[in-house]
Structure 1
Amino acid sequence: MKKISFPIIHAFLFVALFLGCKKEASKNIVAPPSAGSLAFKSSAANVVLTAATDAANVVTFSFNAAKFGVQVVPTYSLEFDLPADTTGANAWANAVVVKLPAGTLTKTYLGADFNSLLANQLMLPTGVASTLAIRLKAEVTQNTGAGSSIKPIYSSLSMTVNPYKATIEYPALIVKGGNSWKTPAARSNGFVLTSAKFNGKYEGYLNLPNADGYGGDAFQLVSSKDVSKVYGWGGTSTTMSLTGGNLYLTPAPAYMKVNADVDALTITYTPVKFFISGDDNGWSTSATPLIYNATTMKWVAANVALTAGKTFVFTANGGYDISYKVDGSGALVFAGAPTWGGINIPVTKTGVFTVTLDLSAGDGNYTYSIK
């Protein structure tokens, strides 16, 4: 048998090693996927949200796994923004970013969660359709969670959304009627004071047409946080206690703005009548009254002539100490003394309308409509 020389063996080994290394190196070449390969899509092109959709699945975002050509596990996030914020030097800078769990290729939203994202985080106007921009981001991160040198891959889509103004269930003092006054057993609009700042101060509007002393609309206030705390008479018409009987009023029978402080144990009542004051009536605080509807518990003014581009304010009792305007998102806010804030309510169309002011749900949930 012939002997194979060692130089030849060494040459074969070198070639085999070289080919093996080349094959191994080929597995580590990064080849970012195209945006189209992600097949990013939404289950709905148009989503209209209401209280009835809170517990329903309203939209699902789905996509394919991003294959970067190497053995890595990408991380994914969804970015939600307004179309106007998706271009320019600061594109997507104001986006709401939702990071998805590892290995997740879908994201389904319940109506309540999607509405919160749209109305509270993005501050989209409620009750009207808006265009929403959504971007999928697929990226490779280091073991520490920090970004890597591999550039992220993006895929975008848009959809139409119509969020609604959700009523937040703030801590409340629930009206419990005294004497012969029957009030709802459960928390109900028109019979509640709320703490919009989640502190000891509560506010609401109550219709007390029989507030005529000891024989009238006497009541107590029951804490929604602790039903064992029942606030009643504190010795005077403006004080409360946890041991007293029914609260009684000194104002004449009326629709009242009621403020209660459970820390200071005080309560005040202010009879109110509301008006529309604006450009179209020369900012009169008496010319355009709203009429209280005891059945719907709303203030209504019918046949109100309004002009597009003009503004108005809800005023009370012939002045601005108790008045309501809107904030930057269009929500109704207190604008009277001593804060003097808010933005005049804009009129978007010219015509004759019915204007409604609804103060029945307690502070933080006051609303209005123009139809």
Structure 2
Amino acid sequence: MKKYINRLFALTALLIVGAACENDAELTYLKDVQFPSEIKITPSTTFVLLEDNADTDAITISWDKVTFPIEAPVTYAVQFDVPSDITGSNAWLNATRIEVGQDVLTKTFSVRDFNKIATDLGLPADKANKLIVRVEAQMDRKVFSKNVELTITPYEKAIVFGEIYMPGSYQGEWNVETASVLTAIEKGVYQGYASVLPGYGTGFKVNTARNWEEFYGSSGGDNIQKMNTTDLQMPGEGSYQIKVNLNTLKWSATAYAWGIVGTAQTGGWDNSTPMSYDHQTKTWKVTADLVPGALKFRLNNKWDVNYGPKDATTNTINRDDQGSYTITEAGTYDVTFTIDETDPNTNGYPATATCTIVKK
């Protein structure tokens, strides 16, 4: 009898443990989670994209909140793929994924960005193609909305060459011969970088050549006007991405800086030490006091775009690589970062960049 009682106790214990495990799983994994409704596409699901409208909005995708059994922020992302890649064992593996953010329920893409998504997925220009979009919600697992089919006619981006220049007080002197270069990224659209150091001014003009025969100044707000003598103004000290559109006569200055990050610098892994842009050498630079520890590079004090070395014995650094350099001796170092980049709004960063880390 005692033997049977012991077996009964053991079986009861197993049932209790199993039930507890099942309840725990139900709280986090077994409870059904899904999008409450289909995602919404505006203004339509058919698009004919034109390069002349590159700066205008093309598509807005919105969705209702997805409720998980845990009370925490939900991270959303939008995925695009071609119809042939959304089934089978490799479904969606080649998709273009754009993270939207936590508890954000809408995402708008410009004509430029939408066209790049389409062409990166191999859709031919000047032809109507099918494109599939869905939204991903992630917390303790990933769930996906129903697929929506789009029809898109992308354009072939014109190959453009040329540059304009931005002489200004950020140089320490107004010298058009050594001014920062804004390179053509599209027809009539130019982009470059400038840093305003402490004690330097923020004013500048935009010149079409390294002379003063034709230049643009400010006509108020984000507007520019040919031969206007009023200076354009960067927001203040810091580094900026400057974009000038001679088609629309608009300009912008967006805070933008590469920085060093890691335990070798003062901010650890949480806060980068920003670098300044040397417009003459087209190099990002910083002189910093470092201690023994790890060091790598990232953009705008975020992890969205970062570089680390696959081989720390070289000066080549690789995008999204987990590697870092090891600083073995405390001291003052000159650190540089050089990258050949396209339009950051399209995440067109190359696979590799270069750097130097030299103890003074």
TM-score bucket (shorter structure): 0.3 to 0.5
Q: Which protein, 1 or 2, shows the higher relative CO under an 8 Å CA cutoff with sep ≥ 6? A: 1
The structure with the largest alpha-carbon Rg is 1
> Which structure features the higher share of strand residues?
2
User: Scaled by the length of structure 1, what TM-score is found?
Assistant: 0.36
User: Scaled by the length of structure 2, what TM-score is found?
Assistant: 0.37
